[in-house]
Amino acid sequence: MKDVFNLAPMPVLHFGQGKISVLSAAIKTYGSRFLLVSGTRSLVTSTHFEKLLREFDAAKLTFEHFMVRSEPTPWIVDEGVQSVLRFSPDVVVAIGGGSVLDAGKAISAMIPLNEPVKNYLEGVGTKPMHPGLKVPFIAVPTTAGTGSEAARNAVLSETGPNGYKRSLRHNNFVSNIAIVDPILSLSCPPSTTAASGMDAFTQLLESYLSCAGNPITDALANQGLKHVAPSLLTAFKDPENLVARTGMALGAYLSGVTLTNAGLGIVHGFASSIGGFFPIAHGVICSSLMAPANKLTVRKLRSIDDGKSLNKYANVGKILTTQEGHGRDYYIDLLLSTLETWTAEMNIPKLSQGGVSSKDFERIVNTTENKNNPVALTPEEMLEVLEMAT
């Protein structure tokens, strides 16, 4: 157990069914003018939006609306900043999935600087670390996946042969306020529920297994896994099941806390490189890689008899069953088979459906990090993971 560690700040959290009702009051704690960042369809066509507009009007709030049309690129963020400079918002409010929240977070961070966000992206930018200045930021997730509402980074990408997927990161970028209302996720289509939900499970599992974890992240990740495990398939098969949606929403939030403080493993290492080269949704990439990446990781952990990490895998397996009294390997294998079952039952696409082929494997492996994986995979083992997922 680590007895020396640091924790990033967490947002003021309003969690629960109907909590969207506190949004206007939350905005007013910063002023009366705000930038609303959303997607192009789901929010603006919902009954929630009509109700919010009435509440904004009653509270005498004025806003500019910027819509995010895809996973955020540096140019989308720059466009958002330029669109609102004259308006000078008191706060940025992002309502949507992980892409919308990341875009809103980055826009809030770049308004005070008014320069290209690419300058400050990790591994891409030419300037020193962002100074951490921002316009206050309120995050309202409508999917249960990335945990961006609790994370300190915004992930931006440029897709293509020389593409990248990198973070704008600072402890100050954690949302000032997060409003997590599971009701907002009821309209998520099954494919989004599956991909985002598997992403949340991935983040919880990887941060629980991370060599950079600590007792607090372990406890939170374990609790998040206990909420996601019984909820994911139910939310996929029964989209209006509010109990399952609530479990997923809490698990996703906790995954944002744990990934911020413990880091992630090989699945997200692959997702960063593949997401830069191919226009495949982040959640889909993670979902397709989960079963093979963990199968290879467990195989190597067994070969070196890493009891600590194997015990953690077994602990997660125990969450998935009421069966007691079995040995460690039973629960580990149960977890691995469950990941394969979820992948099949939720129709998770193979990477090949997004354009990935064997000719791409070498460049993917060469740009993939697995620094927080419980054991480092060799390039040959990483190739095997890609073969299984493609």
Rounded CA-CA distance 251/228 in Å is 6
**Alpha helices, H only, the chain:** 23-28, 47-58, 74-84, 98-110, 190-209, 215-228, 232-237, 242-262, 266-277, 282-303, 307-319, 328-345, 361-366, 379-389
pTM listed for this prediction? 0.96
Mean pLDDT of 141-158: 96
Rounded CA-CA distance 125/352 in Å is 31
Query: Residue 136 in 3-state DSSP?
Result: coil
The 10s digit of each residue's pLDDT in 245-283 is 999 999 999 999 999 999 999 999 999 999 999 999 999
* pLDDT for residue 2 is more than 80: no
Q: Quick one: which of 161, 249, 147, 237 has its CA closest to 199?
A: 147
What single letter denotes the amino acid at residue 149? E
Q: Quick one: which of 289, 307, 288 has its CA closest to 298?
A: 307
For residue 3, the model assigns a pLDDT of: 80
Percent of the chain whose predicted confidence (pLDDT) is above 90: 94
Give the CA radius of gyration of the chain: 20
Rounded CA-CA distance 144/74 in Å is 24
* pLDDT for residue 1 is more than 70: no
The 10s digit of each residue's pLDDT in 46-87 is 888 999 999 999 999 999 999 999 899 999 999 999 999 999
What band does 45 get if pLDDT is binned at 50, 70 and 90? Answer: confident
What single letter denotes the amino acid at residue 385? V
State the burial class of residue 54 (Cβ atoms within 10 Å of its Cβ: 0-12, 13-18, 19+): exposed
12-185 — its CATH code?
3.40.50.1970
Mean pLDDT of 80-106: 97
For residue 297, the model assigns a pLDDT of: 98
Mean pLDDT of 190-215: 97
What band does 370 get if pLDDT is binned at 50, 70 and 90? Answer: confident
Cβ neighbours for 173, distance < 8 A, ≥ 6 positions apart: 105, 108, 109, 132, 134, 137, 152, 153, 154
The 10s digit of each residue's pLDDT in 332-361 is 999 999 999 999 999 999 999 999 999 999
Contact (Cβ atoms closer than 8 angstroms) between residue 138 and residue 181: no
For residue 141, the model assigns a pLDDT of: 97
User: Could you confirm whether domain 190-389 is CATH 1.20.1090.10?
Assistant: yes
Structure letter (DSSP) for residue 378: P
Where along the chain do the CATH 3.40.50.1970 domains lie? Answer: 12-185
Q: Tell me the pairing of strands 153-158 and 164-169.
A: antiparallel
Q: Report angle CA 50, 27, 46 to the nearest 5 degrees.
A: 20
* pLDDT for residue 177 is more than 60: yes
Averaged pLDDT of the chain? 96
